[in-house]
Amino acid sequence: MSKLSDYSEIPKAVVSRLQKLGINSLSQLIFHFPLRYLDETKIIRISDLRLGETAQVQAEVKLAEVIYKPRRTLLVKLSDGSGELYIRLLNFYPSQLQQLQAGTVFRILGEVRAGFFGYEMVHPQIRKASETAPVKTTLTPIYPTTAGLSQYTLAKWIDWALAQADLSEFFPANCYPTGMMSFAESMRLIHHPAQSIDLHQLESRQHPAWQRLAYDELLAQQLSMRRHYLSRHRLRAPNIQSDGALIRRFLDGLPFQLTDGQNKVIQEIHGDLNKAFPMNRLLQGDVGSGKTVVATIAALQAIASGYQVALMAPTEILAEQHFKKIAAWFESLGLSCVWLSGSQTKKQKQQHYEFISSGQAHLAIGTHALIQQQVSFAKLGLVIVDEQHRFGVEQRLMLKQKANTDEWIPHQLMMTATPIPRTLSMSYFADLDVSVIDGLPPGRTPIQTKLVNEERRDEVVQLIEKVCQAGTQVYWVCPLIEESEALQLKTALETFERLSADFPNLKVGLVHGKLKAAEKQQVMQAFYANEIQVLVSTTVIEVGVDVPNASIMVIEHAERMGLSQLHQLRGRVGRGSHKSTCILLFQTPLSQMARARLRVVYENTDGFKIAEEDLRLRGPGEFLGTRQSGLPMLKVADLERDKPVLRLAQQQADQILRQHPQGAQRQILRWLGTLQDLATV
């Protein structure tokens, strides 16, 4: 990929300013697309102007003067013979007053507004012109820019790059939908659209030129993902097979039956582990769908075949939750499970390191402590990563490298309670095999969601006192733990003090991210034991916390939180036999986005429906977390708008990789550059 600094034609000052825009190469320069367009192809008579439209007129200056009421302003009166138009400059130089002399003809481009004297334009584009000066024949692109880099200079070097760049096709015509524009034609049209092109269609990116580029970009993404997927099948992994006796013993000891959704996913994972190449499966399941049981059965299959298992979770609270649950199951099976955390003593850690390295520990559970240098597995065959979007590519790679062998790569099972919309699964997660647990286990009680204005807080306090006196417990979640006047959010510390005063007969606890791990464990243990009735918390309890006796979740400033976070927090209740309620406290006035989010979570309990709405409202970034570290967001394509194009790209990818591997490589480099290899691990 050619660096701009390699071209002597481009002044160093221009290269430096382009780099501030993230433009370092020739391809990045031609992919620097316009934000919008100006129509300088027509000159409108002043008498034909309409309020609110952006238009260009050519008129003679009749009067230019500085007025001082209500503030210092340069007011210019123009006429083209059909009518009069005023322009106002609130910030101007003395030289502009000299240029705008009576009798001079200018072309003025701007938005038409209603002014005190009639139609006016405020700070329009002003260019000196003659009566016979030709008008432009193409729409004028307006690019994102930076200080010291004018639109003229930017457009000039983009045109230069277009002339230098290879705009050829990489595949035969049958790899593209019939009638689709060529890549070169699309690129030139977007940077220089003819005056006949529909401006709305162009700016909304629905023009066929944009559709061609969206297809190209999504195809590059699909090719990269599918290439990773196929290359994984050429790697070696443990061939994990077992007679199923250990799993049957485990299932016989469970006090419940697995759901059809769980059984379906277990069979998919079982099939993957039987293969000689590494599994890379994403297990999706809504809050409370029973992912932990499914992961445990996968672990038992590996253990029965003589391999160790590692399970990594993003927080100590979640890791400890997994350890307590799975260790109790393993004890009845005669298996060893150890837990690693940053809060353990040096002696405890050393003992656990020895258990893991000797192979005595069948399963090791922990946070990032699992990827410390001192951790070494005897025979690691399966890696399980919970809430995978919380970890970066490098962290997951380090855990897999704990197998300490060149003979195989461990199988990997990733889990998430944040459902991935189908369009994301087809694009950013196309290198994974995806399993979904449909439905919830029997016995989960439905959760009623209530939207409550902060002004009715006292009613919420009364409700909490009532339910706690009846024997159940309450979460009260606050977004921040430090005072922030700018955001005006209640802090967990303030809320703890306030609720402690509100409930003199109840025990109120506090847990947040700045507590030491041992202190968090102590508070959570007291909440499990119902020694604490009201737990004030930040979002550290967002995932994994399972207290069946908790029946109410109060979320302060719910309007500030994302949809997936609200859904995750809501899922902390409804885990027992008690009627459960999630109360979303909000402050007015609400922004349009906040109102839309609250409406979605109020009207839906299906995590997949909520995820689709979240994608529509906020785009893919929220779902990807740190998984795609270094991978660029889409430049052209929009996953919601371009679903049909995405399906076409998905259908073509495997065939193109087989028949045109060199073209596929060039396509990936054109769109993804050197970042392609960060797509997955």
Residue 678 has pLDDT above 50, yes or no: no
Pair (469, 592) in one structural domain: yes
d(CA 5, CA 9): 9
Asked whether residue 252 is assigned to any structural domain, the reply reads no
Residue 225 domain flag: no
Average pLDDT over residues 249-265: 91
* Residues 19 and 70 both lie in one domain: no
309 and 292 share a domain?
yes
Q: Where are the beta strands (DSSP E) in 400-466?
A: 411-416, 433-437, 447-453
Task: Check whether residue 465 and residue 432 sit in a common domain.
Answer: no
CATH number of the domain within which 509 lies: 3.40.50.300
pLDDT tens figures, 164-188: 999 999 999 999 988 999 999 999 9
Q: How far apart are CA 141 and CA 149, in angstroms?
A: 15
Residues 481 and 498 placed together within one structural domain of the fold: yes
Cα angle 542-548-551, degrees, rounded to a multiple of 5: 75
Question: CA-based angle 26:27:29, to the nearest 5?
Answer: 65
Residue 625 resides in a domain: no
Establish if 16 belongs to a structural domain: yes
Q: What is the pLDDT of residue 352?
A: 92
Residues 10 and 89 occupy one common structural domain:
no
pLDDT tens track for 262-281: 999 999 999 999 998 999 99
Q: What are phi and psi of 235, to 5 degrees?
A: -90, 165
Residue 417: what pLDDT? 80
- Specify whether 312 is located in the same domain as 423: yes
For 473-510, what is each residue's pLDDT tens digit? Answer: 999 998 765 555 444 445 788 889 999 999 999 999 99
Q: Tens of pLDDT along 274-333? A: 998 999 999 988 777 889 999 999 999 999 999 999 999 888 878 888 998 999 999 999
User: Residues with Cβ < 8 Å from 399, sequence gap 6 or more?
Assistant: 310, 312, 370, 371, 383, 385
515-527: pLDDT as tens digits: 787 788 888 889 9
pLDDT at 393: 65
- The amino acid present at 250, given as its one-letter code, is F
Paired strand residues for 37: 141
Average pLDDT of the segment spanning 346-369? 91
The answer to whether residue 216 is domain-embedded is no
User: Is it the case that residue 589 has pLDDT exceeding 80?
Assistant: yes
Which range of residues forms the domain containing residue 431?
Answer: 278-437
Residue 387 lies in a domain: yes
| Residue % of the chain over a pLDDT of 70 | 92
Question: Which of 165, 192, 211 is where one domain is finished?
Answer: 165
The pLDDT of residue 634 is 84
Q: What is the mean pLDDT of residues 119-133?
A: 85
Confidence of residue 677 (pLDDT cuts 50, 70, 90): very low
Q: Please, which pLDDT band fits residue 544 given cuts at 50, 70 and 90?
A: low
Same domain, 526 and 600: yes
- What H or E segment, with its residue span, contains residue 156? helix 151-164
The yes-or-no verdict on residue 412 having pLDDT over 50 is yes
Task: Return the structure tokens found at 581.
Answer: 């309620």
C-alpha distances out from residue 34 to 38, 189, 191, 576, 639, Å = 11, 11, 7, 55, 20
Contact 27, 33 (CB under 8 A): no
- Give the N- to C-terminal CA distance of the chain in Å, as an integer: 24
**Same domain membership, residue 542 and residue 410:** no
Choose the final residue of a domain: 137, 165, 193.
165
Residues 119 and 151 in one domain: no
Environment class of 44 (CB within 10 Å of its CB; exposed 0-12, middle 13-18, buried 19+): middle
Report the pLDDT value the prediction gives residue 219, as an integer from 0 to 100: 95
pLDDT given at position 531? 94
- Residues 12, 121, single domain; the answer is no
**Contact in structure between 523 and 511 (CB atoms under 8 Å):** yes
Find the CATH number of the domain harbouring 85. 2.40.50.140
- Read off the pLDDT of each residue in 239-245 and give the average, rounded to a whole number: 86
Of 548, 511, 552, which is closest to residue 530 (Cα–Cα)? Answer: 548
At residue 465 the predicted structure's pLDDT band, cuts being 50, 70 and 90, is very high
Claim to verify: residue 151 and residue 93 sit in the same structural domain: no
Encoded tokens for 86: 């005023």
In a domain, 286, yes or no: yes
Q: Given the DSSP bridges, would you call strands 473-477 and 125-128 parallel, antiparallel or unpaired? A: unpaired
How many structural domains comprise the chain?
4
Does 654 reside within a domain? no
Phi and psi dihedrals of 109, rounded to 5? Answer: -125, 125
Write the pLDDT tens digit of every residue in 373-408.
Answer: 889 999 999 999 987 666 666 777 788 887 878 888
